[in-house]
Amino acid sequence: MAATRKPASKRPWRTGVLRLLKIALVAALIGIVALVVAVGIAMSTLPSYSQLKSSPNGQMIRVRASDGTVLVSLGPSFGQWLTYDDIPPVMIDAMVAVEDRRFRSHPGVDPIGIARSSYVRLQRGAWAQGGSTITQQLARNVFLTNTKTFGRKGREMILALAMERKFSKDQILELYLNKVYFGGGAYGIDAAARKFFGHPATTLSLEESAIIAGLVKAPSHYSPTADTEAAVGRAQVVLDVMRDAGAITAEQAAAAQPGSVKFAPEPKSNSVRYFTDWALPQLDTLISERKEPLEVWTTLDLGMQRAADAAIRANVPGGAQGALVALDRDGSVRAMVGGTDYVNSIYNRATQSQRQPGSAFKLFVYLAALEAGYTPDSEVVDEPVTINGWSPRNSSGRYSGKITLRTAFAYSINTVAAKIGVDVGTATIAEVARRFGIGTPLNTQPSMVLGTADVRLIDMTRAFASVSAKGVAVTPFGITKVTTADRSVLYEHRTDTSRVLVAPAVAAQMTDLMQTAVATGTGRAAQIGRPVAGKTGTTSSNKDGWFLGFSSGITTGVWMGRDDAKPVGGLQGGRAPAAAFHDFMASAVANRPVERFDTEVTLPEWQLEPDEEAYFGNPDMGAPADDNGMPGDPASPPGDGMGMPDETEEGEEPPERIDRDWVDRMTRSRPTDRENDRDRERDRERPAPSSTRLPPPTRIQDRPNP
């Protein structure tokens, strides 16, 4: 009997399933091995914890005014690094609740979060919810980019797993909270707290922590500097999430008022940026720190800066530019305006522009004369003169004959300056100018005495400040102190007063000349009701107008003109620049005590004669220069030929009578009884004004060369 064949006991589909399971198991094992290998390799290449703490994205610099007000913050802001123990627990709770609720339990990648994100993707057809953990975000911020590809996501996961194996949870949170971007240039919670709230992160409140934690999702959208209401609304969402996660109680969530948080005001830029652009490059020579965030304390006085900005804007002629520099007695820059609008032009005309100073350069001419033995009362002769074919003329086109050096300076007599150049030597004058800080090239042609060489406003202001300091060198500076975020001092300015440029007596005589120029000469518009010494300057064809002077310890220089060096109608040093000086200084010295100079105002000799009281008609105009820097020979305006104008300038009030009452009023003099007695005694001893009260007449050309 033939044996019967039994049917197969196994079904074909079971065999296929088993085969697939085996393949899947093998693939999973291979994947796990590959993942372990990849994580191991990633771990071996990860930087150390101390290396990760360093800031590779640049140095944050916060610049402060003299009163501590933040002027500007530059570079990416990393603030002060806070250890995990220094971070407020409420900040940690807020960040974990809103960004990664299962942070303490997952291995670096959250499968539940990934599944939830994928489910939402299937429902909405787009990625609308992130599944990245805090560790993944840290890996992306430190090592990767924000490109949305699966390849980048895979590398992000491997790095996150590796970081979880190499670092503790607390270390990862510390890295994350000190490195994540919060908007407004702020990286890390300390930088964010300082920028948005004006204080360190160690003192963050619940509401402030909620605001900061809410920024991570979209820093540009929720940043308080961009949209305060959006930041507050997002903070309320964070508070609700913290309540649901058990990080805070319902009562705490209800009591929190993110809308009551006071945000730090944004520092304004505009004209202060002229100052910071000049001062900050000096850090390279002052300190060597390149990584730590810095606090730079400067000399800028915000009140004076506002006054300077207003003075320039109010007085600059239409179509022209203006600049102003104000130095305190130690050289500290209290105000700097490099143009009428920083937003439209960042070119700093106070420190970069080189322009002809006109008769303002006569400061150095007369300093050289005083050093050579002249005195303010020395007699000189204002008369036609020709030097190597060059014949300078006065702006009035007239000549006054014998006058004192004081009168020649007060009315900016060009012929006298030219004679001084011959007498003391133009090389000597150039040496004086360089000694006082003029760093631009200087020629030694005869015409240099009228300011035909280009100079910088800050250098000229520095020179006048050195005269104010009784001949001691003054060096402008803008940085007083540099500290790190933890207030460690890296640099502190020390003023050097050891360099004496001229004898104090010479500086006092120069001040004598300059206060007369303001009291009765070309600088009358600069009077502010207290002693002022200064000098005007106007170049040919009204291309440049200058006024520089000092009072009560503040030295201020003003320049006006066009960037293309075209003429500006009506621009003269004694007008708009002097008016800007007046407007600024009236405010700048308002709270300072009145300081009198070593010498009293002495009137020019013809101002003392009742029958000859008169002003020169026009402030000095310098002399028109040709292509070689040699002034030309302008046509002589009408006059009486004796140095007196036929009439006052158009639109100008007739001058007041110049006498002791006028001088007292201009300087706000209030003599005491003792001073009155001393004045009466001095008057009895003083000879009556006459042509014989001066030393015997001495023509410059008769003086021996030194």
Angle, to 10 degrees, between the axis of helix 169-179 and the axis of helix 89-99? Answer: 90
pLDDT band for 681, please (50, 70, 90 cuts): very low
C-alpha–C-alpha distance, residues 239 and 250, integer Å: 10
Residue of higher predicted confidence among 147 and 155: 155
Phi first, then psi: give them for residue 73, nearest 5 degrees.
-115, 130
pLDDT in tens, 386-400: 999 999 998 888 899
C-alpha–C-alpha distance, residues 476 and 328, integer Å: 9
Ranking 43-57, 165-179, 329-343, 649-663 by mean pLDDT, the lowest is 649-663
pLDDT > 70 fraction of the chain, expressed in percent and rounded: 78
C-alpha–C-alpha distance, residues 131 and 140, integer Å: 13
Average pLDDT score over residue span 420-432: 97
For the chain, the straight-line distance linking the first and the last C-alpha, in angstroms and rounded, comes to 153
Please report how many Cα atoms fall inside a 13 Å half-sphere around the Cα of residue 343, on the Cβ side.
3
C-alpha–C-alpha distance, residues 105 and 103, integer Å: 6
Give the list of residues 6+ apart from residue 522 with CB closer than 8 angstroms, or none. 359, 410, 411, 412, 535, 536, 573, 574, 616, 619, 620
Q: Domains in the chain, start-ordered, CATH in brackets? A: 50-54+76-260 (1.10.3810.10), 307-589 (3.40.710.10)
| pLDDT beyond 50 at 678 | no
Ranking 64-73, 458-467, 611-620 by mean pLDDT, the lowest is 611-620
Ranking 119-133, 155-169, 531-545 by mean pLDDT, the lowest is 119-133
pLDDT > 90 fraction of the chain, expressed in percent and rounded: 51
pLDDT in tens, 450-461: 999 999 999 999
Average pLDDT score over residue span 448-471: 97
Q: H/E/C letters for each residue in 385-410? A: CCECCECCCCCCCCCCEEEEHHHHHH
Query: Would you call 634 exposed, middle or buried from its count of C-beta atoms within 10 A (0-12, 13-18, 19+)?
Result: middle
| pLDDT beyond 50 at 704 | no
Query: What does the mean pLDDT of the chain come to?
Result: 81
C-alpha–C-alpha distance, residues 566 and 562, integer Å: 6
Q: Considering the entire predicted model, what is its pTM?
A: 0.64
C-alpha–C-alpha distance, residues 698 and 373, integer Å: 13
Give the Å distances, CA to CA, from 485 to 78, 293, 480. 10, 6, 16
C-alpha–C-alpha distance, residues 207 and 230, integer Å: 14
pLDDT in tens, 148-161: 677 767 888 888 88
Most confident of the ranges 21-25, 207-211, 260-264, 427-431: 427-431
| pLDDT beyond 70 at 634 | no
Would you state the pLDDT for residue 661?
Answer: 54
CA 589 from chain centre, in angstroms, equals: 21
Of the candidates 487, 461, 486, the residue with the CA atom closest to the CA atom of residue 360: 461
Phi first, then psi: give them for residue 182, nearest 5 degrees.
-115, 10
C-alpha–C-alpha distance, residues 271 and 346, integer Å: 9
pLDDT in tens, 251-292: 999 999 998 898 887 765 578 999 999 999 899 889 987 677
Of the candidates 494, 458, 200, the residue with the CA atom closest to the CA atom of residue 354: 458
C-alpha–C-alpha distance, residues 548 and 559, integer Å: 9
Give the Å distances, CA to CA, from 271 to 75, 86, 326. 19, 38, 14
| pLDDT beyond 70 at 616 | no
Would you state the pLDDT for residue 486?
Answer: 81
Average pLDDT score over residue span 610-617: 30
| pLDDT beyond 70 at 496 | yes
pLDDT in tens, 106-143: 888 887 877 777 766 666 655 445 668 888 888 887 77
Would you state the pLDDT for residue 121?
Answer: 64
| pLDDT beyond 60 at 174 | yes
Would you state the pLDDT for residue 45?
Answer: 75
Task: Using CA atoms of 605, 611, 612, 614 in order, give the dihedral in degrees to the nearest 10.
Answer: 120
Average pLDDT score over residue span 237-251: 92
Would you state the pLDDT for residue 139?
Answer: 84
Would you state the pLDDT for residue 377?
Answer: 94
Of the candidates 191, 249, 201, the residue with the CA atom closest to the CA atom of residue 88: 201
Of the candidates 388, 414, 389, the residue with the CA atom closest to the CA atom of residue 399: 414
Give the list of residues 6+ apart from residue 94 with CB closer than 8 angstroms, or none. 206, 209, 210, 212, 213, 238, 242, 247
Give the list of residues 6+ apart from residue 317 with CB closer than 8 angstroms, or none. 560, 568, 569, 570, 571, 576
